[in-house]
């Protein structure tokens, strides 16, 4: 399996204050408008021990069009990949959504065989998709999101 995805579909960023981040990206950078939602993603599993995802997040997303989508994620509670990333690295890029695959489970097995580990996996019923975050030396330690259906 190759990691040659043809383009980045989304840039996911972790932020401390979603409203301030939306204001900045809209009024300073010109990226917007945003659609917001809040959720607990209780169907996601943190692969650090296979424990269920813990916590709530607020999310703002720009439209899926010919440009990469910008996803802003504000962790509200819990111990999960977003709160840990914010604590360890501060605000900024968390992941790149670069991969749409036909069979997510098969792809994850193939990536694991290449030393690329899954750090979060599960379904997103609101988008009728399954998604995973993967990372490893071959990804240059950048978290990649792959999904079996475009959101």
Answer yes or no: is pLDDT of 121 > 80: yes
Q: Where is pLDDT greater, at 149 or 42?
A: 149
Summarised one tens digit per residue, pLDDT across range 81-95 is: 899 899 999 999 999
Backbone angles phi, psi at 5, to 5 degrees: -80, 145
Minimum mean pLDDT range among 18-22, 59-63, 99-103, 117-121? 99-103
Q: Over the Cα atoms of the chain, what is R_g? A: 15
Q: Looking at domain 10-147, what is its CATH homologous superfamily? A: 2,3-Dihydroxybiphenyl 1,2-Dioxygenase, domain 1 (3.10.180.10)
Residue of higher predicted confidence among 23 and 49: 23
Token pair for 150: 């475009």
Residue 50 has pLDDT above 70, yes or no: no
Q: By C-alpha distance, which of 135, 36, 43 is closest to 84?
A: 135
**Who contacts 113 (Cβ-Cβ below 8 Å, separation ≥6)?**
none
What is the rounded distance in angstroms from the CA atom of residue 18 to the CA atom of residue 83?
14
**Sheet of 129-135, strand order:** 35-39, 57-61, 69-75, 10-14, 92-100, 144-147, 129-135, 117-124, 44-46, 51-52
Tokens representing 94?
Answer: 């968390």
DSSP 20-47: HHHHHIIIII-----EEEEE--TTEEET
User: Is 97:133 a contact under the CB 8 Å cutoff?
Assistant: no
State both tokens at 88: 């360890």
Q: Where are the domains of the chain?
A: 10-147
**What pLDDT band is residue 2 in, cutting at 50, 70 and 90?**
low
């Amino acid at each position: 399996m190759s990691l040659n995805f043809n383009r980045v579909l989304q840039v996911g960023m972790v932020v401390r204050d979603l409203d301030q981040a939306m204001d900045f990206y809209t009024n300073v950078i010109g990226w917007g408008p945003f659609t917001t939602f809040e959720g607990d993603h209780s169907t996601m599993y943190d692969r650090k021990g296979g424990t269920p995802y813990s916590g709530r997040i607020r999310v703002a997303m720009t439209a899926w069009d010919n440009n990469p989508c910008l996803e802003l994620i504000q962790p509200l509670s819990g111990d999960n990949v977003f709160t840990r990333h914010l604590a360890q690295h501060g605000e900024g890029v968390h992941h790149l959504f670069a991969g749409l695959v036909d069979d997510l489970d098969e792809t994850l097995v193939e990536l694991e065989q290449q030393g690329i580990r899954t750090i979060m996996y599960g379904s997103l019923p609101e988008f009728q998709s399954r998604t995973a975050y993967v990372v490893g030396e071959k990804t240059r330690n950048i978290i990649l999101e792959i999904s079996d259906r475009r959101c």
